[in-house]
């Protein structure tokens, strides 16, 4: 029996179609990883493709690890030559070899979010930017968005002409990039941007990688942004054997720069592309899939498909509405405790999914009280803790002395009597001479006004130079132990108090375990300091999920993508929470559709049982707010719910009406608002609109604009307006409340 006989017809078709551009629309739980791994095996075994010529890219380390494991198992000998990695890891591998062509050292540092904030503070201080007006996080977000679109400082400055605000950002962007280069550092966005730049400007390197990667496969294609699309397009341009796998219904990362048009318009970019739909689901019950289909079919911007399964009907959905958020949490925690007590489930078979991180607090309190083990995915990242960042800064300084942020972080950790005044004098000297901070330290005795501090700086440099020599012959684990011994870091922790010190020591022990684990994983090549720092820099918080540990998982809906659990609780299902208040009040169709896709992702995480809960009132930002149940609940066919219909659920009966009546009921009142005198806001009493294409209208947030399109849908009118201030926006008339001018 062939390994391909275990695939269904559509999966086999996707595996056997090997030449030219291919779009695989893979619904949730449809076995896409299985298809990709079998496709790789088929290319090697049946088509005679050299493993060296295959590149498989996905988005998370966890997904890449699973694919790597499956590929090794199926392909066997030669599989190690296949590149199976994330976008960022792929780019790092290329840049480590060739970034010197762009003027960087190959031992560059990768800056995390905290490093970026620190650097941005320096930039704002140097440019005398008022951070009350131009907040550092907003400046970083603007720069990140520009990089997502492959807009470099020169182009950004050109586009900013005539806009004072954007001109300020352009100056910050230019200086930020200048300081990154001076530190021989890249941020996460740069890993992609610099790789594209490298391929665009170095024909010989482009030729090498186009020849090497003759067959390219990209997973989770709906999550790609513009620069990722450019990277893949450039690499695949010569042989055009590009297979992308994704699901437009699971595109939920617009806020990170994901461009859903990459998957929706794939056939426009690659006109000869072949499309295969994987709609058979192997994860969930028929009831859960009907609920997911019921919600997502309300989106306009999607490719038509519907999930189905042979798993059987399964249990009905559970819906509960509570008076407040505490009652909601009590119910969920009690339900989980009952499952475990009866021996029906273990703790790790339960997941609580919510829209925002703030919603976890009440559940955490209840779990602590009930003595139930839990873990919050998406909390403080292990590598963001102070003691871990301190020790990693030592390793970064040893590996890349040009990283000013790392050197400045540890120059007085543990305390060496080196004050801020001394550090500032060294920095001024480094800036005047155009050298790195560490280079200035090496000649500290020559710095004017440095005085007695020179001896302390010389001692620090001697310590780092000693570590650099040690790094040439020691394993990373041995080097880390030497750093702890020579610096007295652990002894210094004792000053913080016993309990705090113990917690920090436990984290350091975990770091040592991580280093040991890294060294063990380097089977075919020697472990290196750069390699370890690279692995740490690319880790994602969801990768810390240990499926073998027995604890309840709490996570946002965004973090849950790609995971599955027998028991799922989707909590806070209220208008104003999910969908969010801004989405509800602004009437932006694209934002609402993104939120609906997020709901679809949440539903399809459930394998056997799905519970949906909401509360009539909830404390938000210190204010009690009264919410209607989420409009997404009303899009689930009512017959899929199994528990008794309580009086407060009578609102659900609206789903029995036709779709247009549903929409009217959903739009009748605005979440959080008290009853107000009826106002038409553009909707005539007898139906229709009191404005038409070509009319000028006014929106409460976007201001004035011109109506360019009105489409009558089943639920409401879809109106497109080109606003004077923000450009085109699509929205539902019932939400938008446009007023004719």
User: Which residues belong to the active site?
Assistant: 32-33, 219-220, 250, 605
The number of CA neighbours under 13 Å toward the Cβ of 351 is 25
Q: Are 737 and 682 in contact, with CB atoms under 8 Å apart?
A: yes
Terminal Cα distance for the chain, rounded: 71
Using CA atoms, how far residue 24 sits from 44, 71, 246, 278, 504, in Å, is 20, 19, 6, 7, 47
**476-487 and 386-399 helices cross at what angle (nearest 10)?**
110
Find, among 243, 207, 272, the residue nearest to 57 by Cα.
243
What residue spans of 112-260 are helical by DSSP H?
Answer: 113-127, 136-148, 153-159, 164-182, 188-201, 203-212, 226-236
**For residue 336, with 0-12 CB atoms within 10 Å meaning exposed, 13-18 middle and 19 or more buried, which class applies?**
buried
Q: What is the DSSP string of 549-612?
A: S--EEEEEHHHHTT--EEEEEE---BTBTTTBHHHHHH-BHHHHHHHHHHHHHHHTTEEEEEEE
Task: Give the pair of three-digit tokens for residue 376.
Answer: 């919050």
Residue in this structure with the two tokens 């947030």, named with its chain if needed: 701
Query: How far apart (Å, rounded) are the C-alpha atoms in residues 492 and 181?
Result: 34
Largest CA distance in the chain: 86
Q: Which residues contact 324 (CB under 8 A, 6 or more apart)?
A: 615, 616, 617, 618
Residue in this structure with the two tokens 């200048």, named with its chain if needed: 178
Find, among 108, 197, 120, 122, the residue nearest to 152 by Cα.
197
Query: Helices (H), strands (E): how many in the chain?
Result: 31, 20
Please tell me whether the peptide bond between 573 and the residue prior to it is cis, using omega within 30 degrees of 0. no
Q: Are 632 and 599 in contact, with CB atoms under 8 Å apart?
A: yes
Decide: helix, strand or coil at residue 456. Answer: helix
Q: Are 623 and 641 in contact, with CB atoms under 8 Å apart?
A: no
Q: Are 609 and 566 in contact, with CB atoms under 8 Å apart?
A: yes
Find, among 192, 235, 175, 236, the residue nearest to 93 by Cα.
192
Q: Are 620 and 575 in contact, with CB atoms under 8 Å apart?
A: no
Q: Are 196 and 227 in contact, with CB atoms under 8 Å apart?
A: yes
Q: What is the dihedral of CA 217, 223, 226, 229, to 10 degrees?
A: 10
Query: How far apart (Å, rounded) are the C-alpha atoms in residues 356 and 232?
Result: 32
Query: How far apart (Å, rounded) are the C-alpha atoms in residues 235 and 206?
Result: 7
Query: How far apart (Å, rounded) are the C-alpha atoms in residues 190 and 177?
Result: 9
């Amino acid at each position: 029996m062939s390994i391909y006989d275990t695939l269904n017809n559509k999966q086999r078709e996707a595996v056997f179609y090997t030449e030219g551009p291919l779009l695989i629309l893979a619904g949730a739980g449809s076995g896409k990883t299985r298809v990709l791994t079998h496709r790789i095996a088929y290319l090697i075994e049946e088509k005679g493709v050299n493993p060296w010529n295959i590149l498989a890219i996905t988005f998370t380390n966890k997904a890449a690890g699973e694919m790597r494991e499956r590929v090794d198992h199926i392909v066997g000998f030669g599989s190690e030559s296949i590149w199976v990695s994330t976008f960022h890891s792929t780019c790092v591998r290329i840049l480590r070899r060739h970034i010197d062509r762009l003027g960087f050292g190959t031992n560059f540092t990768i800056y995390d979010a905290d490093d970026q904030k620190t650097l941005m503070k320096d930039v704002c201080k140097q440019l005398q930017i008022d951070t009350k007006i131009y907040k550092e996080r907003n400046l970083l977000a603007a720069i990140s968005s520009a990089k997502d679109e492959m807009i470099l400082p020169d182009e950004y400055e050109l586009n900013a002409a005539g806009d004072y605000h954007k001109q300020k950002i352009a100056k910050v962007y230019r200086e930020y990039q200048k300081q990154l280069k001076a530190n021989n550092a890249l941020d996460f966005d740069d890993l992609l941007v610099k790789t594209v730049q490298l391929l665009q400007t170095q024909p010989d390197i482009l030729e090498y990688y186009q020849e090497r990667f003759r067959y390219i496969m990209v997973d989770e294609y709906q999550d790609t942004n513009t620069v990722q699309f450019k990277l893949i397009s450039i690499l695949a341009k010569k042989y055009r054997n590009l297979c992308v796998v994704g699901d437009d219904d699971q595109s939920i990362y617009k806020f990170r720069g994901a461009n859903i048009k990459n998957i929706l318009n794939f056939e426009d970019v690659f006109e000869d592309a072949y499309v295969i739909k994987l709609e058979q689901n192997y994860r969930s019950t028929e009831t859960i899939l009907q609920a997911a289909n019921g919600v997502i079919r309300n989106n306009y911007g999607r490719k038509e498909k519907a999930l189905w399964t042979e798993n059987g009907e399964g249990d009905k959905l559970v819906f509960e509405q509570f008076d407040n958020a505490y009652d909601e949490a009590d119910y969920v925690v009690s339900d989980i405790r009952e499952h475990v007590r009866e021996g029906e489930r273990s703790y790790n078979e339960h997941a609580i999914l919510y829209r925002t991180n703030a919603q976890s607090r009440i559940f955490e309190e209840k779990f602590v009280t009930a003595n139930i083990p839990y873990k919050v995915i998406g909390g403080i990242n292990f590598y963001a803790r102070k003691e871990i960042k301190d020790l990693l800064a030592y390793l970064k300084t040893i590996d890349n002395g040009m990283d000013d942020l790392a050197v400045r972080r540890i120059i007085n950790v543990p305390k060496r009597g080196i004050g801020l005044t001394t550090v500032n004098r060294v920095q001024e000297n480094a800036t005047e001479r155009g050298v790195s901070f560490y280079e200035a330290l090496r000649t500290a005795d020559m710095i004017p006004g440095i005085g007695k501090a020179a001896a302390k700086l010389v001692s620090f440099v001697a310590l780092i130079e000693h570590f650099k020599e040690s790094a040439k012959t020691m394993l990373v684990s041995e080097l880390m132990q030497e750093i702890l011994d020579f610096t007295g870091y652990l002894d210094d922790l004792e000053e913080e108090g016993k309990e705090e010190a113990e917690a920090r020591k436990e984290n350091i022990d975990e770091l040592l375990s991580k280093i040991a684990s890294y060294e063990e994983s380097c089977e075919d090549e020697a472990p290196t300091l750069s390699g370890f720092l690279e692995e740490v820099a690319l880790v994602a918080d969801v990768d810390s999920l240990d499926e073998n540990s027995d604890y309840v998982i709490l996570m946002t809906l965004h973090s849950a993508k790609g995971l599955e659990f027998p028991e799922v609780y989707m909590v806070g299902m209220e208008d104003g929470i999910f969908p969010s208040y801004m989405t509800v009040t602004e009437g932006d169709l694209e934002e609402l559709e993104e939120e609906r896709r997020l709901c679809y992702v949440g539903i399809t995480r459930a394998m056997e049982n799905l519970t949906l809960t909401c509360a009539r009132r909830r404390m938000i930002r210190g204010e009690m707010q009264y919410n209607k149940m989420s409009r997404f609940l009303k899009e689930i066919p009512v017959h899929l719910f199994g528990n008794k219909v309580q009086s407060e659920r009578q609102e659900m009966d609206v789903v029995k009406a036709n779709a247009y009546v549903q929409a009217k009921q959903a739009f009748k009142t605005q979440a959080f608002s008290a009853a107000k005198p009826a106002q038409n806001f553009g909707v005539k009493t007898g139906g229709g609109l009191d404005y038409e294409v070509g009319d000028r209208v006014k929106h409460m947030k976007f201001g004035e604009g011109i109506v360019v399109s009105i489409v009558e849908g089943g639920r409401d009118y879809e109106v497109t307006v080109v606003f004077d201030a923000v450009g085109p926006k699509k929205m539902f008339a019932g939400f938008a409340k446009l007023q004719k001018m």
